[in-house]
Chain A
Amino acid sequence: MKLLNQTIDFEALDNPAVTSYAARVNAGELLTFCAAARKAKRPLVALWGSDERDRGEGFGFALHTALDLSEGLVCLTLPLAAENPSFPDLAPIYPVANRMQRAVMDTIGAMPEGDADRRPWLRHANWPADFWPLRNDAKDAQFEAQNEDYAFVRVEGDGVHEIAVGPIHAGIIEPGHFRFSVTGESVLRLEQRLGWTHKGIERRFKGMGLSDGARLAGRVSGDSTVAYAWAYAQAAEAIGAVTPPPRALWLRALLLERERIINHLGDLGYLGNDVALAFGLMQFMRLKEDWVRENARLFGHRFMMDRIVPGGVSVDIDEDGKRAIAAQCDVLEGELHALKDIYDDHAGLQDRFLTTGRITPQLAETLGVIGLAGRASGQCWDLRCNHPCAPYDQLQPHMQLEHNGDVAARALVRFGEVKASLDLVRKILREMPDGDIRSEVRSDANKRGFGWIEGWRGDIFVALETGSDGKIRRCHCHDPSWQIWPALEHAIIDNIVPDFPLINKSFNLSYAGPDL
C-alpha cells in the first residue's frame, strides 16, 4: 500500500490495537518520505536503532523511524552497514530528531551524517566512546565514572554570563542540567543537558520474558506507569496475537484517566506554589492524595503499578467500587470548580501565568511540539481522538485546546482535561461491559509489535521485538518528553530567570522517561 503519494510500498501490520504500516527503505526514500510527512504536518513519533548483525550474512544495523500519519503509525526501517554504520541527518526535517539521533549514536554506534550534531547525549563520559550497550557483542561491564566537559553552545557579548543549574536540582525533582546564558535578569539562551538518569533500561530488556518486560516498562517513568504498561501490553499482545477481553480494555481506560487526573492535580498545585500561592499546593495535593488512596484501596497500589498486564488487567471492580469512584468524581468536580474560580480570580497568580513562557502555535508547529504542551499551543495531537484504540473509539473524548501557549494556557488545558477525564470515568463506569479481564498471552518467536497510548504528557510509544527464543530481542520505549524538552529551551527566551521554575513546571516533562 502507498502513503502520502510516495513510491514506497508499505505492508499493513497485524497489530490490532494500533493500525500500523511498515516498510524497508533506502536513505533517499527515508529522506523523501520524512520530508513529505513533514510537509503534510505529520509528527515524528520516535527514532531508534538496532543491531541486526546476528541475522546472518549481509546484515548490519538498522535505524527505525516511526511517524504519525492520518492512516496510522508508520515505521520506516533503514538498513545500515555492519562496519562504520551511518544514516542521513533527519534533524533538518524534524528538529526534534536531534537528540534521538545522538541516543542512537551512543547506544549502537551509528552516526548521523553531514552537519548533524554529534555530541554524545546519553553517554556522559562514564563509559568509553567505543562501548555501545545495544550492540549484541557489548559485554556486561562497569567503568570508572569521569567528569565530562560537555560542549555547551557559548553566548558571547557585553554583560553575558552563564548560570549552571543541576544535575541535582533545588527541589524534589529528577536530575538534569540547565545552562542559562543571561544578561541581567533575562534569559538569552537555555541549553539542556539531560541523560543523568540513564539506567541502561533498553539493554536490560534484552532476554526478558514478556511478563518481566511489562514490569520494567511500567518503571520507565513512574508517574506514567499506567500509560507505559498499556503501550507495552499492546505491543506484547500484537506479538502473542491476542486481543484482551473488552472489559479489560475499559478497565485500562479507567486506570489511565485516573492517572491523568492525579498528575494534573499535582501539577495544578505546584503551579500555584511556584507563584507563592501555597494554598493552591495544599488544596490540590490533598485532592491528589484522596485519589491516590482510593487507588490503593480499590486496586492495591497507590499508582496502579503492574495493574495492566499483557493480555488484560490484574484488577477488577465491583459495584461498590464503581459507586465509590462515582462519588469521588462528584466531590472532585465540585472542588475543582471552586479552586478554578480562585485561580481565575487571583490577580497575582494570573499576572505571573499570563504571557509567561510562551510557545506560539506557529513555533509549536515548527518545533513539532506534541502532547499536553502542544495542545496548549493549538496543536491538535491527542491519540485518544486522532487514533482512538478501544474503548476510546466509543468514549469519544473531547480534545482540550488552548492557543496562547503560555503558562496560563498549560494550566487551563490541565483544568479542562481533569474535567473531561472525570466525564470519561463516569461514562466508563456506566458503560463498561461485563466479562473476563485477562486472556493468556504466549510469546511467539521473531515477532514485532507496537504500542501507542496517550499518557498525561503526550503519546507514549513502545516497539517490541522477540528473538528466536521468544524472549525480548529489542524493546524501545519512547517518552513524549523527547519532543517537548526542546520547546522549553524556546519558552524561556526573554523571560526572567526567576520565572524558570514556573515555566518548567508548566511543562513538567519527564527526565527518567527519555533518559531510559
Chain B
Amino acid sequence: MFPMLRQIFRTGIVSEPAPDADETLRATTQRLSEVMLRQLGRALVIRQIDAGSCNACEQEIHALSNPYYNLEALGIKFTASPRHADLLLVTGPVAKNMEIALKRAYDATPEPKLVVAVGDCGCTGGIFGESYACCGRIANVIPVDVSIPGCPPTPLQLMQGILAAIVPEAMQEEKV
C-alpha cells in the first residue's frame, strides 16, 4: 500500500483546465432547447461507437480519461449501454458490416440524443471513402450534430467538439 500512496503523492495532480467549446464544429443548429441544456449542465453520458475506424481515433478517446484531460471531472462519463447515453461519439467511416449495428445503437439511445462524428473518416469518409464495404461518413447513416475533423483529432479537439454539442449557443459568451 505504501509504495502506491507514495507514487500517488509523488505524481500530484496533473489535470489541466478544459478547453472552451468550439462552435465551428457544429453541423446543425442546436437541437436541444436552452432550458434543457441548462438543466443538463455538463452532466453528460457518452456511448462511444467504433463504426469502422482504424483504432487511432479510439486511442485519442481513451486519452480523454487520462489524468491530464480528466474528462470525468467535467461531469462527462462513458457508458457501456446506448440506453443510458445522451450522446453517441462515433468514429470511423461506417463499415457496411457495421451499418445495421450503428442504426440499432442509435435507435436504442433515448431521445433527446446527440451524435458527434469523430475524425476525418467520421466527417467525410476520409481515406476509405464509399465503396461496396464502406458507407462513408457517419451522417450517411445517422443524423450528426457535431463533426470533429482530424486524423485522429487530438484529445483537446475532441473535448471542444463534445462541449460544443452540449452548450447552447447563448451560453457561449459566458464561458463554460
Contact = CB atoms under 8 A, between A and B. Distances in A.
Nearest to B108: A168
A201 B98 contact: no
Interface in A157-212: 167-168, 170-175, 195-201, 203-204
A288 B96 CA distance: 33
A201 B128 contact: yes
A302 interface: yes
A302 B132 CA distance: 32
Contact of B134 (A131, A195, A199, A215): A199
Contacts of B66: 282, 285-286, 288-289
A199 B61 contact: no
B97 A197 contact: yes
Given A141-B132, A174-B58, A303-B59, A222 B152 contact: yes
Contacts of A285: 62-63, 65-67
Contacts of B93: 199
A374 interface: no
Interface string A416-436: 000000000000000000000
Interface stretch (B25-33, B34-42, B49-57, B167-175): B49-57
A221 B55 contact: yes
Contacts, number: 166
Interface in B59-114: 59-63, 65-68, 78, 80-81, 92-93, 95-101, 105
B131 A145 contact: no
- Which secondary structure characterizes the binding site on chain A? loop
Contacts of A219: 54, 56, 127-128, 151
Contact of A200 (B58, B67, B132): B132
A289 to B, nearest CB: 5
B129 interface: yes
Interface string B138-167: 000000000000011010000000000000
Given A142-B131, A172-B78, A174-B55, A199 B67 contact: no
A198 B133 contact: yes
Interface in A222-251: 222-223, 225
B68 A286 contact: yes
Chain B CB count within 10 A is highest, among A124, A219, A221, for: A219
A170 B80 contact: yes
B62 A225 contact: no
A514 to B, nearest CB: 12
A180 B3 CA distance: 39
A285 B14 CA distance: 12
B64 to A, nearest CB: 9
A168 B49 contact: yes
Given A131-B132, A172-B78, A196 B97 contact: yes
Contacts of B127: 204, 215-216, 219
B3 A341 contact: yes
Interface in A277-302: 279, 282-283, 285-286, 288-289, 292, 296, 302
A283 B62 contact: no
Given A170-B80, A197-B98, A200-B133, A303 B56 contact: yes
B14 to A, nearest CB: 6
A145 B62 contact: no
Nearest to B135: A142
Contact of B96 (A127, A168, A170): A127
B62 A196 contact: no
A210 to B, nearest CB: 15
Contacts of B54: 219-222, 225, 512
Contacts of A303: 56, 59, 152
A133 B97 contact: no
A5 interface: no
A266 B62 contact: yes
A418 B66 CA distance: 20
B132 A196 contact: no
Contact of A171 (B67, B80, B99): B80
A174 B103 CA distance: 17
Interface string B9-29: 001001000000000000000
A496 interface: no
B142 to A, nearest CB: 13
A468 interface: no
Contacts of B152: 222, 302-303
B97 A289 contact: no
B63 A510 contact: no
Contacts of A515: 95
A222 B62 contact: no
Contact of A196 (B59, B61, B101, B128): B101
Given A199-B93, A286-B68, A345-B3, A142 B53 contact: no
B134 A342 contact: no
A341 B105 CA distance: 42
A515 B55 CA distance: 12
Contacts of A127: 96, 132-133
B60 A302 contact: yes
28 contacts: A127-B96, A133-B131, A145-B96, A145-B100, A170-B80, A172-B48, A172-B78, A173-B50, A173-B58, A196-B97, A198-B133, A199-B133, A200-B131, A200-B133, A203-B132, A215-B127, A216-B127, A219-B54, A219-B127, A222-B55, A223-B55, A279-B7, A285-B62, A286-B14, A286-B67, A286-B68, A288-B66, A515-B95
Given A133-B133, A222-B55, 14 more contacts: A124-B97, A126-B99, A126-B133, A143-B132, A168-B50, A168-B105, A172-B48, A196-B98, A204-B128, A219-B54, A223-B56, A282-B67, A286-B14, A289-B67
> Which 6 A/B pairs are nearest by Cβ-Cβ distance?
A222-B56, A200-B133, A285-B66, A222-B54, A170-B80, A145-B99
